[in-house]
Amino acid sequence: DAKTTQPPSMDCAEGRAANLPCNHSTISGNEYVYWYRQIHSQGPQYIIHGLKNNETNEMASLIITEDRKSSTLILPHATLRDTAVYYCIVRVARDSNYQLIWGAGTKLIIKP
Amino acid sequence: DAMVIQNPRYQVTQFGKPVTLSCSQTLNHNVMYWYQQKSSQAPKLLFHYYDKDFNNEADTPDNFQSRRPNTSFCFLDIRSPGLGDAAMYLCATSQNGRGSGYTFGSGTRLTVV
């Protein structure tokens, strides 16, 4: 199974862009990259996912390198409410279903 | 709003006393998952139901069981909780494991005394 590697923690100033890196060097061609975040004592919240093209939605942008071995989640204008643990996840095919392989997460702290 | 609901939010149980956690969904998703999350760790998949088919992870202890009586409900049974089973238990759903539709509940925090 592909594994992801993330920095354990990052700081970002409020109002600036937060760029969260993730390495997934063993990812296979049909495995998607997902990002979730978890605010303290809540369930994980979906942010974005992609295969090889860059993706953008109302929450964030996902930039995937051409070789797909790494990606970056971008929160364009971070607010204090974006303080959370961000998980980079690879979705792998398994039997007749899929499984999420979770990274250890990056604790993002947004500072005023 | 369509959602995944876990009850109770907090559960305290005695060492060795069976406990059941519940999960319900209004999304009509066919796959339901149970995760265990210990402090400062990523969620760990215990098992999942794909429709009515139960899929257990190889390293999930026998102490953990699950039931899915219908599409909407799924239960996690811990037959003899130990102190090491204290954790947040997360329920999630998806439609065939695809797309953006992995939706998590708010979790049940289990304390074993």
Give residue B96's pLDDT. 84
Q: What is the DSSP string of A50-93?
A: ESSS-EE-SS-EEEE-TTSSEEEEEESS--GGG-EEEEEEEEEE
B103/A34 Cβ within 8 A:
no
Mean pLDDT of chain A, nearest integer: 93
B31/A87 Cβ within 8 A:
no
Instruction: Out of A41, A45, A87, name the one closest to residue B42 (CB).
Output: A87
Q: Which residues of chain B make contact with A8, given a CB cutoff of 8 A? A: none
Give residue B43's pLDDT. 95
Q: Does B105 touch chain A (CB under 8 A)?
A: yes
As a whole number, mean pLDDT of residues B90-101 equals 84
pLDDT at A44 over 80: yes
Instruction: Out of B42, B55, B104, name the one closest to residue A103 (CB).
Output: B42
Q: Which two tokens stand for residue A47?
A: 């942010």
Q: Which residues of chain B make contact with A104, given a CB cutoff of 8 A? A: 41-42
Regarding predicted confidence, which is higher, B10 or A53? B10
What's the gap in Å between the CA of A47 and the closest CA on chain B? Answer: 9
Give residue A1's pLDDT. 61
pLDDT at B100 over 90: no
Residue pLDDT, tens place only, B10-66:
999 999 999 999 999 999 999 999 999 999 999 999 999 999 999 999 999 999 999
The band of B8, judged by pLDDT with boundaries at 50, 70 and 90, is very high
As a whole number, mean pLDDT of residues A87-112 equals 91
Give residue A52's pLDDT. 92
Is residue B75 a contact partner of residue B81, using CB atoms and an 8 Å limit? no
Q: Which residues of chain A make contact with B32, given a CB cutoff of 8 A? A: none
Query: What single DSSP character describes residue B79?
Result: S
Where residue B107 falls (left for φ over 0; alpha for ψ -120 to 50; beta otherwise) is left
Element (H, E) at B32: strand B31-37
pLDDT at A63 over 80: yes
Give residue A97's pLDDT. 79
Give residue B101's pLDDT. 67
